[in-house]
Amino acid sequence: MDEINVAFLGAGRMGMTHLRNLVGIPGVRVRVVADTNLDSAQQGAALVRADRASNDIAATIGAADVDAVLIATSTGTHAELIEACVRAGKPVWCEKPVALTLVETRRVVDTVEAAGVPVMIGFMRRFDPGYAAAKQKIESGDIGRVERFRAVSGDLAPPSLAFIKTSGGMFVDFFVHDLDLARFLVGEIEEVNAWGSVLIDPGFVDAGDVDTAVAMLRFRDGALGVLEGSRRSTWGYDIRTEVAGSRAKLVIEAPRKTPLLTMQDLGVTEDHYESFPDRFHEAYHAELEFFFASLRAGTPPAPGVRDALETLRVALAAAKSMAEGRPVKVDEIQ
């Protein structure tokens, strides 16, 4: 496979970000950008000088000049599109999540594993230089036995209540990245205990969700963890993860966004990230590089659909724990 010819599905805001990243990757050529909105497709195609734009997604997937498909369409379409691709024998990179339900996710896993076609899911935080370096240190044994995990997440402002209603809820939608990191950095989770609260907006109650939550994680090997987060952290996009081992502790937290310190009024101030494209800029680029490097090397790109499934089970266990006020074993979620 000399040059990899790519179809890109979904030219929305994140799609454009991914397209821009694609351009810098040598040996990758975007043949077609497809979107149900032809205008968007054309804008995306123009951005990367693709051969063509299309609003026929099915035809795009099947096109003879397409070696691999990248999916950045809306969440509800992921499962079907992944399945269509693997049936067509086309390797896939798809934005997370695969699906919001266990049944649908499991069906995709079965389809993908039966087809044996490489599929990678966009848990981009794994590719942030901080998390990637942490993973390496943990795997190399540098921090000894992993004993504790901690994650905090906060978005500058909550999404609309309309979105909340279809989001899958605080654990499936919001904490999914933290749970994926917990599994990535520490290992499989055996049991979850979660509490939630509505502190920001009473509308969350009507939406059947919470806006603030905490959880405890018990990993299979005995390590313990905590999770904490809010749909609104007015001071910035607040993502911080810690992994403590018998020999060292790793803290993954972005330093100031801009290399400027202001000393004034007996204080020193630095600025802070606002949102995920901002904070995880490099990670978005690195994950696509890794996807294509895996295709070239013939090694399975990770994280794949099974990772998405396992992380979803933990998220659903947390949601169940919160709903029922008791610890829930991940094995209850089948």
Site size with its own copies, rule: CB under 8 A = 81
Q: How far is the CB of 313 from its own copies (least distance, A)?
A: 19
* Geometric angle at alpha carbon 285, from 295 and 67, rounded to 5°: 30
Q: Distance between CA 219 and CA 138 in Å, rounded? A: 15
Cβ-based neighbours of 98, under 8 Å, separated by 6 or more = 78, 79, 82, 104, 105, 108, 109, 121, 305, 308, 309, 312
85 vs 186 by CB, closer to its own copies: 186
Q: How far is the CB of 60 from its own copies (least distance, A)?
A: 20
Contact set for its own copies, span 54-113 (CB under 8 A): none
Contact set for its own copies, span 109-148 (CB under 8 A): 128-130, 133-134, 137, 143-145, 147-148
59 vs 199 by CB, closer to its own copies: 199
Contact set for its own copies, span 11-30 (CB under 8 A): 20, 23-24, 26, 29
Contact set for its own copies, span 189-228 (CB under 8 A): 193, 195-200, 212-216, 218, 222-228
Q: Distance between CA 235 and CA 272 in Å, rounded? A: 8
116 vs 259 by CB, closer to its own copies: 259
Burial of 49 (0-12, 13-18, 19+ CB in 10 A): exposed
Contact set for its own copies, span 38-57 (CB under 8 A): 47, 49
255, 297, 298, 334: residue in contact with its own copies (rule CB under 8 A): 255
- 259 is an interface residue for its own copies by CB under 8 A: yes
What's the gap between Cα 326 and its chain centre?
A: 27
- 258 is an interface residue for its own copies by CB under 8 A: yes
- 5 is an interface residue for its own copies by CB under 8 A: no
Residues facing 48 on adjacent strands: none
83 vs 155 by CB, closer to its own copies: 155
Q: How far is the CB of 23 from its own copies (least distance, A)?
A: 4
Nearest to 322 by CA among 217, 196, 171: 196
| Pair 57, 8: CB distance under 8 Å | no
Nearest to 252 by CA among 303, 311, 178, 314: 178
- 269 is an interface residue for its own copies by CB under 8 A: yes
Q: Distance between CA 58 and CA 87 in Å, rounded? A: 12
